Amino acid sequence: MTDYDSERRAAEAAAHAATAFIRPHAGGLSADELRLKGVHDYVTFVDEGSERIVVDALRQSFPDDTVVGEEGADGTERLDRGRVWIVDPLDGTTNFSHGVPPYAVSIGLRVDGVGVVGVVLDVSSGELFSAARGAGLTVSGTPASVSEATSLTDSLISTGVPFRDYRYVAGYLTAFEAVIRQTRGIRRHGAAAIDLAWTAAGRFDGFFEAGLAPWDIAAGVVLVEAAGGRVAGLWDGADPVTTGGLVAAGPGVFGDLREAVRPLAVAYREVLQAPA
């Protein structure tokens, strides 16, 4: 098995370089420096500058690889073929623009559709979550693993609310209520990369969301799996990275959490399968 150590180290270096560029601008942007690119979806010169730093670094180290970035780079049509880096240069732009943590740089590598490297650097705290397939998870150099919880009753769950597409809101709210009733509570960070990183590190016992983009979750999926957790699409056979819906958790609560959010799975699948 390829250990992907050089890829992991390159991703960590790129994330650190991007973070050094991002951090001085946190909470200091004016309203006219925020550009709307979609419903409630903003971009700034900081996102774009961070992406250039990461993409240039990855292409210098691995010139034959495809790089897919949120703000540009190559297209998303090749996510399941060859070596593909998937980059979110600033996950949590809205948080960042308000000076509210968390927000992060997220870098994932997929090889023939399988996640093999994941790096998430929390810009606001400086914590580095890093993993390679078969090599485990480290948090700022210290080994970490998913929660050992065996019951939703003892679990703290994270999620993200629909903010781009509201057609599956009813299903989401039904799932949200089911999770509230069965757990210790729900938290919403506004940065899926951090939610997955914290699930991988055992701080959250599980995470669920829909309506995400590949760059939001490609790295985080690797983190959770490397830390001993389970990740799956919202329905059987669905690839979480390409469908944008997922459940991630420690093995002790994964099945129950996936069952609890089934109403979201049904509603979200209907939206994805609806005629354009």
125: left (phi over 0), alpha (psi -120 to 50) or beta: alpha
* pLDDT tens digits, one per residue of 214-265: 999 999 999 999 999 999 999 999 999 999 999 999 999 999 999 999 999 9
* pLDDT tens digits, one per residue of 27-60: 666 555 655 555 445 568 888 899 999 999 999 9
Dihedral angle, C-alpha 215, 217, 219, 221, nearest 10 °: -150
**pTM (2 d.p.):** 0.93
Q: Which residues contact 243 (CB under 8 A, 6 or more apart)?
A: 233, 234, 272
Q: What's the whole-number mean pLDDT along residues 11-22? A: 97
CA-closest candidate to residue 155, choices 123, 96, 191, 202: 202
Residue 16's CB is within 10 A of a number of other CB atoms, namely 16
The residue type of 61 is S
DSSP 183: S
CA-closest candidate to residue 269, choices 238, 223, 242: 238
Residue 202's CB is within 10 A of a number of other CB atoms, namely 19
Q: Which residues contact 136 (CB under 8 A, 6 or more apart)?
A: 143, 145, 226, 227
* pLDDT tens digits, one per residue of 91-133: 998 898 888 999 999 999 999 999 999 999 999 999 999 999 9
- DSSP of 54-95: HHHHHHHH-TTSEEEETTEES-STTTTSSEEEEEEEEE-HHH
**How far is residue 220's CA from residue 107's CA, in Å, rounded to a whole number?**
9
* pLDDT tens digits, one per residue of 158-198: 999 998 889 999 999 999 999 999 999 999 999 999 999 99
